[in-house]
Amino acid sequence: MTAKPGHNSFDPTDSRKRCMKYRKRILDISQNVSALHAAGAFSCMELTDTCYHGLMRPDGQDTFLMSKGHGCMAQYVILEDRGVLEKKHLDEYCTPHGILGAHPDYGNPGIEASTGSLGHGMAMAVGMAVAERNKAGGAADAGAVYCVLSDGEVQEGSTWEAFMMASTLGLTNLVALIDNNDFQSLGRTSETHPSFYPLDEKLEAFGWETVIVNGHDADAVYSAVASRKGGKPFCLIGRTTKGKGVSYMENVPIWHYRSPSPDEYKQALAELKEIAS
Amino acid sequence: MRNTFAEVLYDLAKDDPRIHIVVADISPAGSMGKFREEFPERFINVGVAEQAMIGICAGLALKGMRPFAYTIATFSLYRPFEMVRDDLGYQNLPVTVVGIGGGVIYSTLGGTHYAQEDIAIAGAIPNMSIIAPCDPVEATEATKWLVNREGGGPVYFRFGKAGEPTLTGPDSDPWEFGKLRYLRKGEDVAVLSYGVVTKMAAEVADALTADGNSVSLAVCHTLKPLDTEGIANLLRRHKRVIVVEEHAPQGGLAPQTKQIAWDIRAECDLHTFTLKDEFVHCYGSHEDILAAHGLSTERILATVRT
């Protein structure tokens, strides 16, 4: 009962155009507030776009869960583009009269779970996938759950509890996408915690099917998920760059949270281009 | 009490596919075993992984299910606390967190297994309700309510273990969520309690009745939202009120009753008996551990009779 992706006609060219537009929109919003998690959103932009525009079926039966809650700008701009959120919701981001904050809040349009504290999303995704399977009576077309995780939150023990349960429960309608930008607050993970890797082998030992692809290559992401063998929960480890698309943000930890100044904003806009891979 | 709960849940689950039970490696004795055999797709054992237990319950509830997380109280509430707070409280989901052996019931297992401050901790979480039945009949009533209620948020369901006597009867007020109930009504003295230790409260009430007093016995099975009006009326209607509580002195029924007494300028005498703010390093029967905390029928009577 491996869930099939929704759009047989997923076009990576369109995805590249969209992701450039989304990055620009995030930069625009950044000028209204002192801080937003632009770098983390840029890092998972293609992963999130591929879920919404490629993998999830269009009739709403599949679920997207942004476990790395600080990446929610990537989700907000897509939800705006799809008409789920309104322009004013994003224009009022992090203001007292708005509804959107720096982490997803359950109850807001298009937001399926509240996240922000790391290590919570995977277990909720497991519970959702069980519920979808039971509602469908175990049928092959049960609602699928797509969960984007940061690599940092894969350090949480709770995430491994949930990984163990996903395979134990045989959740073939569950897809995890790890935004593996190899950066966390205190530096490059491969240097600060080398034994964190290899990630794919650890997950396979926990009963998952895995693949490692370039997480900024929407075509590769889509194809890897669509062509998975199935029979197990599936994890795509996307190699990504934190701050992808803006040179001074890439792999510089301060951009985890900071908003660009007006000059930096102009430079970022000038630099933005479609990311081929 | 836990067997009654499992039996009721099993019966309700036959007609209600929303009911899911997520346990953390606790033996599915009695009717829990029947549930597991008959509804395997709705019975999840996460193993010794309580954070996953709460997160999975949240995910189930986000998709319209009625999950029950089920293990020993310290492990259902304390170990996965942030999941209880964020996943259940913040999202306001109808998940029941069952804490078996609330208080110091696991009397030979030591402090790691005592949930002696659970009411204070659960009660501090916005949206969280707390129910602590005093006997298997109250556990049945509460379980039915938990399944059939419309909407609603998370509930911490503080349980006993097994073998609790039935304290409620046909003369008791009906069970209603959020309402204090009288098991018997008198004029002079009121003994107020909840949970398994209500047995001790009933013994105190019996002894004071034998002394010639007209004694009420009331249980406050819903600790949150607290029946402030019901407690205020109890304080107004009696000359002497005795609160017996198997919980730390902070954040439970006793200090909240004192607060209500102050707010309404109550004129009654008010005695509260709780666990100590201590870890006791002592092993024995449930009664032995309660006594080590200063909770015994004899001590309460010795204090209130003077």
Average pLDDT rounded to a whole number, residues A246-253:
93
Q: Tens digits of per-residue pLDDT, B70-94?
A: 999 999 999 999 999 999 999 999 9
- Dihedral over Cα of A171, A158, A47, A211: its sign: negative
**Å between B64 CA and nearest CA of chain A:** 8
Torsion of CA B3, B5, B6, B7, to 10 degrees: 80
**Å between B227 CA and nearest CA of chain A:** 29
Average pLDDT rounded to a whole number, residues B131-157:
95
Interface contact B204, partner A, CB < 8 A? no
Least confident of A126-135, A268-277, B105-114, B167-176: A268-277
Nearest CA in chain B to A121: B55
Helix (H) or strand (E) holding A145: strand A145-150
* In chain B, alpha helices (H): 2-13, 31-38, 50-62, 73, 81-83, 118-123, 136-148, 198-210, 228-237, 253-263, 286-292, 297-304
Interface contact A106, partner B, CB < 8 A? yes
Cα A163 to Cα A156: distance, rounded to the nearest angstrom: 11
- Whether the predicted pLDDT of A3 surpasses 80: no
A12-271 is classed CATH 3.40.50.970: yes
Q: What is the pLDDT of residue B23?
A: 96
Q: Tens digits of per-residue pLDDT, B245-274?
A: 999 999 999 999 999 999 999 999 999 999
In this prediction, residue A41 has a pLDDT band, given cuts at 50, 70 and 90, of very high
Scanning A156-215 for CB atoms below 8 A from B yields 157-158, 161-162, 164-165, 169
**Å between B11 CA and nearest CA of chain A:** 19
Q: What is the pLDDT of residue A2?
A: 46
Q: What is the pLDDT of residue A5?
A: 59
Q: Do A127 and B59 touch (CB under 8 A)?
A: yes
Q: Do A123 and B86 touch (CB under 8 A)?
A: no
Task: Calculate what percentage of chain B has a pLDDT beyond 90.
Answer: 93
Partners of residue B59 in chain A, C-beta under 8 Å = 113, 123-131
Q: What is the pLDDT of residue B298?
A: 98
Q: What is the pLDDT of residue A8?
A: 58
Nearest CA in chain A to B79: A158
For tokens 């929610």, the residue is A72
- Whether the predicted pLDDT of A135 surpasses 50: yes
Q: What is the pLDDT of residue A1?
A: 38
Q: Tens digits of per-residue pLDDT, A4-34?
A: 555 557 999 999 999 999 999 999 999 999 8
Q: Where are the domains of chain A?
A: 12-271
Helix (H) or strand (E) holding B218: strand B215-219
Domains contained in chain B, CATH given: 2-158 (3.40.50.970), 181-304 (3.40.50.920)
Q: What is the pLDDT of residue A4?
A: 54
The amino acid sitting at B300 is: I
Q: What is the pLDDT of residue A208?
A: 98
Q: Tens digits of per-residue pLDDT, A65-87?
A: 999 999 999 999 999 999 999 99
In this prediction, residue A257 has a pLDDT band, given cuts at 50, 70 and 90, of confident
Q: Do A113 and B46 touch (CB under 8 A)?
A: no
Interface contact B190, partner A, CB < 8 A? no
Among partner residues B17, B52, B67, which is closest to A158 by beta-carbon distance? B52
Interface contact A131, partner B, CB < 8 A? yes
Left, alpha or beta for B110 (phi > 0: left; psi -120 to 50: alpha)?
A: left
